[in-house]
Structure 1
Amino acid sequence: MCGICCVVNLTASQCVLQKHVREKLRNRGPDCSQDITDMVLDPSYSCLFSAHVLHMRGVLTPQPLQDKDGNILLWNGEVFGGLTVGAEDNDTKVVLHHLSLCRSPSDVLSVLSQVKGPWAIIYYRKAEHCIWFGRDFFGRRSLLWSSGPEECSFTLTSVSSCLPDSDSAYWQEVPAVGVYSLDLKKCSYNRSLKLELYPWVYIGDEPPNDFTCEGLPSSVSMVMNDSGLLLNFPVPSMNTSLTAATPNDKPNQTSQTSPDDLKVFLKSTEKREMVRNLIDVLSEAVRRRVQCLPYQLKLTEEPNDDEAQVAILFSGGIDSMILAVLADRHIPADRPIDLLNVAFKLQESKINPGSTKKGQTNKRQHASADIAQSDQVKSNCFNVPDRITGRAGLQELKNLSPARKWNFVEINVTQEELKEMREKHISHLVHPLDTVLDDSIGCAVWFAARGTGIISEGTEQRRHTSTAKVVLTGIGADEQLAGYSRHRVRFKTSGLKGLVKELAMELGRISSRNLGRDDRIIGDHGKEARFPYLDEDVVSFLNSLPVWEKADLCLPRGIGEKLLLRLAAVELGLGPSAVLPKRAMQFGSRIAKLENRHEKASDKCKRLVTS
């Protein structure tokens, strides 16, 4: 992963990268930093390319990477398929090799259409005076843009800042609707910035007749490319069938659910085969994301039994539990896996420490009771729902894989530290998103990904900071398998047809709602977010299924939502975690309880405004 940035000036004057932006880019790529400048006198323009590399694959390769023709590549991504990348190869070099062979815009689009994996790209073709840029179709890597008020400058960057005395008001996320090109020669002559869009479309679909872009800087115009060129989605469109077959058996619809309720479905040979197919494709997605990592220790150092290369954002819920079970398949048995569990301190007034025994009238007894009560309150103040389910999930994992060292990292956050880190770091990383929901999730993910907390071993506790460069997250499961409460509401009001539309909308907006933000947040720690549930093959498999095979919202909570995934959990040997109802991170970690309860998730968040 990398922090990448390009500054364009439609004059020959020197391009400047703001200091606070450079600092945040360097946090994303602490292993190597480098700048390249290019200045053209006729027509007149100048460019600054800045890259900061987090070494993840093959030999450490500094960026920006330049070929013999002067073409420059800034690549923030991972090639997990489509292009051949060997175990010892560096994917940045592979991508530039393929792009260097391109002779036309259609060739460039063909290369990018083949890539399976998350990416954001800035690619300068020197002879053509053209910059290509964009994000993968899910927007799994962040890319922001801004322009100067006089239409003479343009900046692309992985991360920005929301300092009030900067041009932060102009920052927007680059919409993940296609790939863009900027003809610097034309722009310089015309003294105006005009982009051409090459949109993503499903195979066989027609391109959109018109396109409006809400995230476009005000001083930049955009047109659809006049050659009619497109990028093909690497996944098929969603199956929208609406006629559900009636199952022969369904569990009793009681308030109490258990894994046995799910086992009823697995009596069907057809259903069991479908579940195993999901496990196979998801297992391969996890394998791609946890193997071929750089060895982090020098040859002269002894391996540290505590140092994990892979961590999981872990609540003990079904999404993270399945990722843990599958990661266990593909990570060497002698290497630990970090389970990152975040909790925000509960107010003492909300903790019930229990009462002392009747008849304790002695002052010494009262003093002892007060101390015991104080200790209990102190230990209970981080017993949020995700901590409780996380510990239960840890025990399930230990039962399934007792030889594995599972580092359950209890990350405890006080309101004071939350306020400090939000102002110093998190508000800038969440920017340009600005809602209460962005604040809550952004803060929870930032502290979790930092990985600094406590590991309990028996009665002993010790400090632990995760060394993992790869952080697996379960995002994408709820969006595809109807895991949110709003899916039940839509199903209740509009049936299967409404649910299908809701799921299609969820997947279509995931780039702007979640992924760019989460990439910026996790990347700030010099770690890389990886999303197995959004692997192209996983999405293709789930998109091929009719909605009623993925979820049955006639069934109770803990069973019907994400039904197919719950069946996979049972097939993998999981128990109580397979029937845990969905709990959003902001509620499970209790960060939502720390702030104004009358706020709505979609409200603008005043706490994200820095002074």
Structure 2
Amino acid sequence: MCGICCVVTWCTERAIYDFFNKDILCHLRRRGPDSSKQLIKTASDLPYKCLFSGHVLHLRGLITPQPLKDASDNIFLWNGEIFNGVHVGDLENDTEVMFHHLALCSSEADILSLFSSLRGPWSFIYYQASQHSLWFGRDYFGRRSLLWQFGNEADSGFCLTSVSVYSKSGNEWQEVPASGIFKIDLKACATTKSLSLTLFPWKYSCTEKAVEPIFSNVLDHVSKDLPNHILLVMNESKLCLRAPVIPLNKTIAEASDGCRSTNVSNNIHKVSVESLQGFLAEECKKKLVHQFIDVLSEAVKRRVLSLFRDEDQETRAIPSMSNRKAHVAVLFSGGIDSMVIAALADKHVPLGEPIDLLNVAFMIKEHIKQKGTTKKHTDQEVQLDLLCQESCKDLDAKAGAHLSCFDVPDRITGRVGLKELEAINPSRTWNFVEINVTLEELKKMRLQCINHLVYPLDTVLDDSIGCAIWFASRGEGFISNQGELKPYKSPAKVVLTGIGADEQLAGYSRHRVCFKKYGLEGLNKELEMELDRISSRNLGRDDRIIGDHGKEARFPFLDEEVVSFLNSLPISEKADLTLPRGIGEKLILRLAAKELGLAASTVLPKRAVQFGSRIAKLESKSEKASDTCSRLKSFSVDKL
């Protein structure tokens, strides 16, 4: 994880700092606390000037300060992880590996081939000195944030950065679309005094005849949000990047090759763990579930082992497990997504190393309970609360009893989930971190920094999710030590999150609505759209939020091999929305959880973090999720 920034101007050095101010620098340093460096590049014969700023969170190999510069004057900023596609040795740093490969590229096609081969999240900025070219972009899913801002005039410059601050100047920041890689010919721009972006888009195939209209659609999509004086063009050679995943299988079929799950599903009336067993009795279904477990397990393995661990911690004899340091944390609600991620992490994290389970709760305000919600929403919440209480009836209620105002639904299901994980592996130290947030602290931290991180997104939903993830990933709370709650701050630099499961496996309530209206064909279209827009709706925001703590977000469900595996299956193998909530959505994941030895969590219905953590009720606002959030429009520029 790194904070990267580049400012390009055709004017004076003063113009650079019109874009790059001390507040942006502060946010970048929080992302990369282990090294900060800046470099200014001027062209001797051309009137452009570039500032490169790199801030490194050390996770792999030897610490490598950025920006990197080579003998040919090429400059590189990298915010990413290479998990596959390009070899990175155990002791190597992937920033250096990528820069080395880029220096060997002799053509645009070579650069595109290199980025097409990568597997893992990334954003980058690369100055190619010989061509006076600036390349930049985000990975296929947009798992790493990159924003851009353009000056009022074509010759007034622009800025690229991992994170920004709210601008009152009218020059708004926008997320760089994860539609491909962009290139700017700085020499041509300096000559013509106009700014032109060249796009190299992602495509499943770059050889089909249908490429031309597809290119046109991508151009229209990206250019609609650009200022009028910024020109966006397709590269003349019609080159593109090969998508790292296969297209979605839109086949409409009840089940594959003799699997007749429908007979089982027709007999399911009660949501229970036992009701999943009938599916697993079918050999073909069980085989498919184990294939899914294998590919998801490999994705988790790559994400928990690709990080630096203290050498002395691996070799010394430690008298007490409690002295060990956690390197991996999970955003943990006790729901199906986080439970499966935690169970798989347990298979690969060294046994003597704790795993931190980060569980966030916002203070319950009894006097506003049930207000500002429709009867439909209230009924849904009551149903889920009853299910949580049923699941928790055997729990020891003494732990945390004095903090009952934080016993929100996600705290309750989280404790149940902890018991399940302890049953699967009692030898593991599971640090269940109870993160409790008051209204006063929420307002303070939103004003101080969270709203800048959510920006340029601005809805009520972005506010709720952004605040919940910020407090959770900060990892400051309490853990139980022999029945007593003690203060604890998670030292883990890697934070695993379950995002991507709902989008691929029909986990949201809107998917049921879509299925009822338009059937499986409509559901397929909805799921295809979910991944297409996940970069702009979720991932840039979550990367900025989690990165603010000097931690790196990693997304196992969005591993390229996991996505390709799920894309290869017809929808009927992944979900069955004719079944009740808690069974039908994310069915293949629930079956995988059952095979991993999980229990009550396998049939918990989806509960969004804003409801499970109770942040949505804390400020008692009668708002729609899509409304612009006024609380995000009040900004403080105080130092962090």
Q: What's the TM-score, normalizing by structure 1?
A: 0.93
- Which residue of 503, 506, 510 corresponds with 1:479? 503
Residue 221 of structure 1: how far off its partner (Å): 1.7
Match of residue 182 from structure 1:
184
Match of residue 13 from structure 2:
13
CA, structure 1 residues 472+127, in 2 after alignment: closer, same or farther (shift >3 Å)? same
Conserved? CA contact 1:442–1:517, under 8 Å: yes
- Which residue of 80, 84, 91 corresponds with 1:81? 84
1:194-593 → structure 2 map (5 Å cutoff): 194-203=196-205, 206-207=210-211, 208-210=214-216, 211-212=219-220, 213=222, 214-245=224-255, 246-247=260-261, 249-251=263-265, 256-296=270-310, 305-349=323-367, 379-593=403-617
CA, structure 1 residues 298+248, in 2 after alignment: closer, same or farther (shift >3 Å)? closer
Q: Alignment partner of 1:250: what SS?
A: helix
Conserved? CA contact 1:132–1:179, under 8 Å: yes
Match of residue 38 from structure 2:
35
Match of residue 59 from structure 1:
62
Residue 497 of structure 1: how far off its partner (Å): 0.3
Conserved? CA contact 2:150–2:171, under 8 Å: no
Q: Alignment partner of 2:95: what SS?
A: helix
In structure 1, distance between residues paired with 2:369 and 2:525: 42
Residue 170 of structure 1: how far off its partner (Å): 1.8
Residue 247 of structure 1: how far off its partner (Å): 2.6
In structure 2, distance between residues paired with 1:253 and 1:581: 19
In structure 1, distance between residues paired with 2:105 and 2:215: 28
**2:63 partner letter:** L
Conserved? CA contact 1:66–1:72, under 8 Å: yes
Residue 407 of structure 1: how far off its partner (Å): 0.3
Conserved? CA contact 2:505–2:574, under 8 Å: yes
**2:358 partner letter:** L
Residue 349 of structure 1: how far off its partner (Å): 3.0
Match of residue 358 from structure 1:
none
In structure 1, list runs of 5 or more residues that go unmatched: 353-374
Residue 252 of structure 1: how far off its partner (Å): 6.1
In structure 1, distance between residues paired with 2:87 and 2:268: 51
Residue 294 of structure 1: how far off its partner (Å): 1.3
In structure 2, distance between residues paired with 1:320 and 1:59: 31
In structure 2, distance between residues paired with 1:251 and 1:429: 44
**1:269 partner letter:** E
In structure 2, distance between residues paired with 1:401 and 1:603: 44
Conserved? CA contact 1:252–1:261, under 8 Å: no
CA, structure 1 residues 399+351, in 2 after alignment: closer, same or farther (shift >3 Å)? farther
Q: Which has the higher helix share?
A: 2
In structure 2, distance between residues paired with 1:296 and 1:348: 46
Q: Deviations over 1:175-204 (max 9, x none)?
A: 000000000000001111110000001125
Match of residue 391 from structure 2:
none
In structure 2, distance between residues paired with 1:316 and 1:130: 48
Q: Alignment partner of 1:249: what SS?
A: helix
**2:158 partner letter:** F
Conserved? CA contact 1:351–1:381, under 8 Å: no
Residue 251 of structure 1: how far off its partner (Å): 4.5
Q: Deviations over 1:472-496 (max 9, x none)?
A: 0000000000000000000001000
**2:328 partner letter:** V
Match of residue 362 from structure 1:
none
Residue 250 of structure 1: how far off its partner (Å): 1.5
Residue 242 of structure 1: how far off its partner (Å): 1.1
Conserved? CA contact 2:140–2:202, under 8 Å: yes
Question: Identity over aligned residues, as a percent?
Answer: 58
Residue 351 of structure 1: how far off its partner (Å): 7.9
Residue 258 of structure 1: how far off its partner (Å): 1.3
Q: Deviations over 1:213-268 (max 9, x none)?
A: 23424542211111110001010000010132353632566663111111100111
CA, structure 1 residues 376+405, in 2 after alignment: closer, same or farther (shift >3 Å)? closer
Match of residue 367 from structure 1:
none
Conserved? CA contact 1:345–1:382, under 8 Å: yes
Conserved? CA contact 1:144–1:172, under 8 Å: yes
1:85-96 → structure 2 map (5 Å cutoff): 85-96=88-99
Residue 161 of structure 1: how far off its partner (Å): 0.3
In structure 2, distance between residues paired with 1:298 and 1:417: 38
Conserved? CA contact 1:28–1:524, under 8 Å: yes
Q: After alignment, is 221-230 or 304-313 more displaced?
A: 304-313
CA, structure 1 residues 242+602, in 2 after alignment: closer, same or farther (shift >3 Å)? same
Q: Deviations over 1:101-125 (max 9, x none)?
A: 0111111111000000000010000
In structure 2, list runs of 5 or more residues that go unmatched: 371-398, 636-640
Residue 456 of structure 1: how far off its partner (Å): 1.9
**2:234 partner letter:** M
Conserved? CA contact 2:324–2:352, under 8 Å: no
